[in-house]
Every structure is written in structure tokens, then in C-alpha cells.
Structure 1
Amino acid sequence: MTGSRTTERSAVGLGAMMLAVTVWAAYALSIRSVASSSLTPGDLALLRFAVPVALLLPWLPRTLRRCRELPLPALTGVAVGAGLPFLLLSEAGGAASTASLVGLVIPGTVPLFVSVLAFVLLRERPGRVRLLALAPIVAGVVVTLVLGPNGVPAAGIVLLLAAGALWSGYTLALGRAGLKPVEVVLVIAVPSLLATIVAMAAGLLDTRMLRGDSTVPDILAIAGVQGVAVGVLSTLCYSFAVRRIGSRTASALGALSPVLTAVLAVPFFHEVPDAVMIAGLALILTGVLAATAASGPRRRAAATAPAGRA
């Protein structure tokens, strides 16, 4: 009975992670589209964080009380790693690159960054099998970045790498914060929304939307994708998946989103992947499958661990 329950919990966690991956692909496409829309990065941030706060406002008092009981470093890692700094870095990197690179660099580098941060901060040494599994992911990202992009500024790639590093910190913090999925959404959205408002008031972030210079279709599209799908749905799914299957397995599966992003970028942005991009995506897919298989014992342990300690 216990084995069956563990398998079921893992299957549900994997399903939640696959839904999150799908939304992340939409995130990469929407990030890329902001540069050519009537919205500014400030408008993007406002919609990304205001919508989840508005939708989940009834849960805010309980979340604030809960946060007083939790470790500040973990809460900070969650709020910063997936909040306003991450959003602005990924938007700036996306504006200087392509949708495929947004979908490739950020989730593609997360498994590597997670392993590095776990070693540096937590003294957790990755096993030999996991290192071998991570090698194709790293190779796929490196091959694509070195041989693939033409005319993409190095600064854009650096910004995307920095966003991937932040998301990796978020992934590790999420596994240790002990937050419920709805609480995760609010811990990310509330401080980021306040920071966005302060930045706008100080003139650090511009807005066209509040001046009435943005189009309604652009506002509705970004509010739906960023505010509802990314801000609420993917955050709920990802935090749920980390609790069920563990942060390392979740981060490895997250590297599948470049494949989906590259496919969707063809009809949306006419970004047809070349041979180098296809080879890089194939390497990443191989690494994801290997890393997921290598995390099997850890995943089974995570599925039976207390909530928030996976």
C-alpha cells in the first residue's frame, strides 16, 4: 500500500511539473513579445504580480502569519529568485535575444546551477551518476550558445544566465521553506508588487499602461499569460512538484521547456531552429531523461518526506 501511494504521489508530482513546463514555454514566448508590444517592463511587472495578489487576496492574512514561523533566508530565496529581479533579468535578456534562447538558457542551466548552489551552500556533493547525467544538459546549452546565435549580444546571454542562477536559488529555497503552494505565490507576488510600485514612483520603471498608452489586447494577453498562467498556475504546479518529487528532479524536468519553446517559436516568431539548435535541444533532452532517472531514489525519498522538506 505504501509503495502504491508513493508511486501515485510521484505521478501526480510529475504531472504538475509537466504542466509547469508548458506554462514556462508560454512565459518565454510572452517575455520575447513584450519588447515589440505597447507595454514596458514596468507594465509587465505590474501585471505579473498584481494579478496573483488580487486573485489570492483572501489567503494573504494567513500567509503573513505563516511567514513569521519560517526561516528568513528561505523566504528571501523564494521571493527574490522568482520575483521582480528574476522577471526584469529575463525580460531584458529576452529583448536582446530570441524566444528560443529565453526558453533554452534559463531552464536549461537550472539543473547545473542547482547542483553548484547545493554544493556551495549546503555542502551536498552530487553523485557521479548525476554528474554524468548533467553533462549532456551543459553540453547542449554550451553548443547552442557558442555555435548557434548570430547577432545576439553577449550581454543578453549573460542576463539570461543570471536569471537562471536566480531561479536555481528559488528552487533550492522552495524545497526548504515549508510553504504551501498558495503561500508560495503570495510570498513571490506581494514583495515584488510593492517593489514594482516603489520603483515606478521613483521613476526607475516606466509605464505606458497607467498613462493609457497601451492597447487592451496587449494588456489582456500579458495579464492572462504572466499574471494568471505564470503567476498563479505554474507557481502552484512547480511548488507542488518540488514537494512531491524533490528540487533536483523538478529542476531536471524543467529543462524540457526549451524543446517546447523552440517548437512554439516557429509559428509565433518564425524562429526556425537550425541544426545547431536542434543538436543542443537533443543533448538537453538526453540529459533531462538521464538526470530524472538518476534522481529516482531521491524522488522516492522526497515523496515520503514531510511536506516542504523534499
Structure 2
Amino acid sequence: MNGYFAAALAVLIWAAYPVATRAGVTGSFTAQELVTLRFGIGALLFLPYLLVHFRAITREAWLRGVPLTLFQGAGMGALVIFGLQFAPANHQAALGPGVCSTWVALLAFLVFARRPSPRIMIGATLCAIGVFALTSWGAGKHNQAVLGGDAMFLAASALGALYVLQLRSWGVSAMQAAAIVTVYSGVIVVPWHLWSASEPLWRVAPVELLWQTLWQGVLIGCVALIAFNQAITRLGPERSSAMIALVPVLSAVLGFIFLREVPSTGEVAAILAISAGVSVSASLPRQPGLDQSCDEASGLRGVAARIARF
């Protein structure tokens, strides 16, 4: 698969995912049902992969997957999907994958004392300005629901950043990590749904159920991950990560087309600022000893995304 095609495919899926999910939670599905589809179907798809590679994964790696399931598994996925009940799809794309590289740089500095380069600081500043403008729009409209959704997106993005920083020392490949986290998440959310759901999933029209199964379990859970893995292999983490800057803008366009979510001038400016910040941060040239780990982590964020989306 061509590297640019693979990256473009991953970006398109990540940009469309909040639009598809927003349509689901404001339509026929509950947020809990979409979380179940996201990880229940994803777990079924990844289970054969884990069985094949079972002996290659150490006991320690299996155990470390338990807390990391919170970071990039059920915890992050639930925050994103529940948040989309309250806030527009373009907010999720901007505050999710859009600011994760900023979270990575900030947490790397606070937790691991890795000093960010001037370019990463410029990118983080642009992202911070965009985040402030976007959340201020919700506050200015006195819409507490939107602010609550934005807070969930920021929390999910922070969890994704923690996952990226931990992934480097986990001792497994990005694909193995995603498989472990997805299967563990499925073990959590499927029994939770069966125990607490008030209505069966098959009450929804078959076409809608198939559509959300495709988006939640197949495209965002597997296809985007594999595509971005290919992009990183062929293009490198820096170029691949730079393409994530397209996600917020493309998602805003798709939200306008399919959901009729019309962003205000302030929202457009905020989304563009965040996209510019991601582009600046991810385009950091590799320098020995200078933020190499942060740079790699920023690129690996997309590998770990499942998702989420982001």
C-alpha cells in the first residue's frame, strides 16, 4: 500500500468517525450501544490475531495491558462517544486527535522531564489558543452541554497521550498493543451492556446497525490502525503525524455536509489554529537527542488511535 494513500485513508476515517458517531448518538443509538459495538466487534476482529501471536507476547505485556485499557481502550472510547451526545463532531476532531500531540509534549515534560523544542512549543501554543477559543465559544453561548462534551474530548485526548508515552516502554508492537487493549475492552463493555441495557440492539433498523458496526468495529478499530501503521512504515512518523493536521478541518467539512453542523467564524478560526499547531509540531526535523522521543510518540499517537479515534 502506498504510504500517502495509507495515511490519507486513515485521516479520512478519523475525520468521518465523529460525524458517523454523532449521527448515531443523536439518532437511533445510545452512547452505551456504540461503545459496545466499538469494542465488542473490534475484540472479535482482533482475537484471531492475538491467538496467532499469543506466544510472542510476554506475561508482563499481558498484565500491563490492563491499566492501559483505560488510556486507549474502554475509558477513552467511552469519553469520546458520550461526549458526542453533547458537542458537535468538529469539536471532537479538533479537541481529540487535534490536541493529542500537545498533550504528549506537556505530559512528557511534566512526567518524564523531556524538554520540548521551540517548534513544539509554538505548535502547542497554537493548539492552546484554538482550544481556548473553541471552549470559549461554548461558554459564550451559555451551553453547558457543549462544554461538558468538550471536557470529555480533552480528557480522552489526555488519556491517548498517556498511552502513547507508555507504549514505547511496553515491549510490544503497536498492532499487538491495539489488539490487547481492544480485546480487554471488549471483555469489559460487552458484559456491562448485557447487564445494564434496557433495550436490545436489534431494535434498530438493520441498515443502521450494519452501518455503525462498520464504523465502530471495523473502520476505526482496525482499518485506520493498519493503514496508519503502513503510513509510518513508508513515510516515517513525522510525515504521517503531520497529516493528522487535516483531521479537524476535514471533519468540520463532513459535519457540515452530513449533519448540517455549521461552525461559527470563531469555531473555524479555532479549528484552523489547532490544525496549524499540529502541523508545526509534527513537522519537527529529527535532531539527535532533541525531543526524539516526543517526536516518535507524536507519530505513534496515530498508530494507537482507535482509535479512537481520535
- Coarse TM-score class (shorter-chain normalised): 0.7 to 0.9
Question: Structure 2 matches for 1:118-129, cutoff 5 A?
Answer: 118-129=108-119
Matched with 1:112 is 102
1:285 aligns with 2:278: no
Which residue, out of 25, 33, 44, partners 2:15?
Answer: 25
Question: Is the contact made by 1:26 and 1:225 (CA closer than 8 Å) also made in structure 2?
Answer: no
Matched with 2:257 is 267
CA distance in 1, matches of 2:276, 2:270: 10
Question: Structure 2 matches for 1:136-285, cutoff 5 A?
Answer: 136-147=126-137, 150=141, 151-153=143-145, 154-203=147-196, 206=197, 208-210=199-201, 212-239=202-229, 245-246=236-237, 253-285=243-275
Q: Relative to 1, partners in 2 of residues 1:172 and 1:73: Cα closer, same or farther, differing over 3 Å?
A: farther
AA matched with 2:166: A
AA matched with 2:50: L
CA distance in 2, matches of 1:74, 1:239: 22
Which ranges of structure 1 fall in alignment gaps of 5 or more residues? Answer: 1-10
Shift of 1:195: 0.1
CA distance in 2, matches of 1:39, 1:285: 30
CA distance in 2, matches of 1:119, 1:240: 29
Q: How many residues align?
A: 290
269-278 or 32-41: which moved more?
32-41
AA matched with 1:23: I
AA matched with 1:141: V
Note the alpha carbon deviations across 1:279-304, whole angstroms, 9 max, x for none: 112222322332222244479x78xx
AA matched with 1:166: L
Which ranges of structure 2 fall in alignment gaps of 5 or more residues? Answer: 304-310
CA distance in 2, matches of 1:177, 1:286: 31
Question: Is the contact made by 2:62 and 2:180 (CA closer than 8 Å) also made in structure 1?
Answer: no
Shift of 1:111: 1.4
Q: Relative to 1, partners in 2 of residues 1:170 and 1:61: Cα closer, same or farther, differing over 3 Å?
A: same
Question: Is the contact made by 1:37 and 1:218 (CA closer than 8 Å) also made in structure 2?
Answer: no
Question: Is the contact made by 1:111 and 1:168 (CA closer than 8 Å) also made in structure 2?
Answer: yes
Equivalent position SS for 2:261: coil
Note the alpha carbon deviations across 1:103-151, whole angstroms, 9 max, x for none: 1111222111111221233221112232123211221221122136732
Shift of 1:237: 3.2
CA distance in 2, matches of 1:252, 1:166: 20
Q: TM-score, normalized by length of structure 2?
A: 0.80
232-241 or 214-223: which moved more?
232-241
AA matched with 1:186: A
CA distance in 2, matches of 1:71, 1:123: 25
Equivalent position SS for 1:95: coil
64-73 or 43-52: which moved more?
64-73
AA matched with 2:156: A
Please, what is the CA RMSD of the aligned residues? 3.1
Shift of 1:219: 0.8
CA distance in 1, matches of 2:245, 2:62: 28
Question: Is the contact made by 1:111 and 1:255 (CA closer than 8 Å) also made in structure 2?
Answer: no
AA matched with 2:162: G
Matched with 1:57 is 47
AA matched with 1:137: C
CA distance in 1, matches of 2:156, 2:267: 21
AA matched with 1:273: P
Residue identity (%)? 25
Matched with 1:7 is none
Q: Relative to 1, partners in 2 of residues 1:33 and 1:148: Cα closer, same or farther, differing over 3 Å?
A: same
Equivalent position SS for 2:15: helix
35-44 or 72-81: which moved more?
72-81
51-60 or 129-138: which moved more?
51-60
Q: TM-score, normalized by length of structure 1?
A: 0.80
AA matched with 1:256: L
CA distance in 2, matches of 1:121, 1:152: 31
Which residue, out of 15, 35, 39, partners 1:45?
Answer: 35
